[in-house]
Amino acid sequence: MTTATYAEREVSLDAEGFFTDPSQWDEAEAPAIAAAEGISPLTDRHWEVIRFMRREYEEKGAAPNVRALAKTSGVSIRELYQLFPKGPAKLAAKIAGVPKPVGCI
């Protein structure tokens, strides 16, 4: 486990950079996490996906994979990859301060 400082707040991360304690996250931290992943600035569409990811995690206890994200958020797979080229579900989860989505599909 490591720590990082986003928006002047120290947070705990796992080896891949995902939050181990989602309660340490707030929206002010998101731009710094995104920038560290090469996404800057965050557009409204990015925010839509990030907030959706956060809500899904809070409601269901797990972050959706890309297919589920596209199905439920209404943002197409094609657009998701345009917004987050290095893996939409993975990056949106990381920026939203929730654990990495699991599953093979």
Catalytic residues: 104
Q: Which residues form the interface with another protein (CB under 8 A)?
A: 65-68, 76-78, 81, 85-91, 104-105
Helices marked H in 13-87: 30-36, 44-60, 66-73, 77-83
Instruction: Give burial (CB, 10 Å; 0-12/13-18/19+) of 51.
Output: middle
Pick between residue 8 and residue 78 the one whose CB is nearest to another protein.
Answer: 78
Task: Please identify, using beta-carbon distances, which residue of 9 and 103 lies nearer to another protein.
Answer: 103
CB of 86 to another protein, least distance (A): 3
